[in-house]
Amino acid sequence: MDQKSRVKFKIMSLQLTGRSDETIAVIESYLRTNKMFVNYNEIEKVYSSYLELKLEDVELCISGPKSPHDRVPLQEMKADWHACLDNKVGFKKYILNPPDDKGDKF
């Protein structure tokens, strides 16, 4: 597929997904202005700098959809969970009632 065919295909996919002609024009203009419009005839992009990321340096973490700021490293999750259960209501606090000796009523 040549460059013009690819561009037409990308634009057609925007049309098929319900984008208006005005929206498509804005998207294309934005991409061209910011030099993000793909030219498939170029062999390789030239960047001013490159970022190298070693995956072994990435720390696995968990955060919830209601509180993404409550990021917890995966290795600390068990301890953090148990610590949160007994805390008063507030940031990262759940205040679960302690079990009573009476048992459940039916």
1-42 pLDDT tens trace: 666 666 677 778 888 999 999 999 998 898 889 887 776 777
Start-to-end CA distance of the chain, whole Å, equals 70
Q: What is the per-residue DSSP string for 13-29?
A: HHHHTT--HHHHHHHHH
Cα four-point dihedral sign 9, 13, 19, 24: negative
Please give the backbone phi and psi of residue 57, each rounded to the nearest 5 degrees, phi first: -90, -5
In the chain, where are the structural domains located? 3-33, 59-100
**Model confidence, pTM:** 0.37
Max CA separation in the chain (angstroms): 76
> Is-contact 90 101, C-beta < 8 A?
no
- Secondary element (H or E) of residue 72: strand 72-73
What are the tens digits of pLDDT across the range 47-90?
A: 889 899 999 999 999 987 777 778 889 999 888 877 777 766 66
pLDDT at 2: 64
**Rounded Cα–Cα distance for residues 16 and 66 (Å):** 34
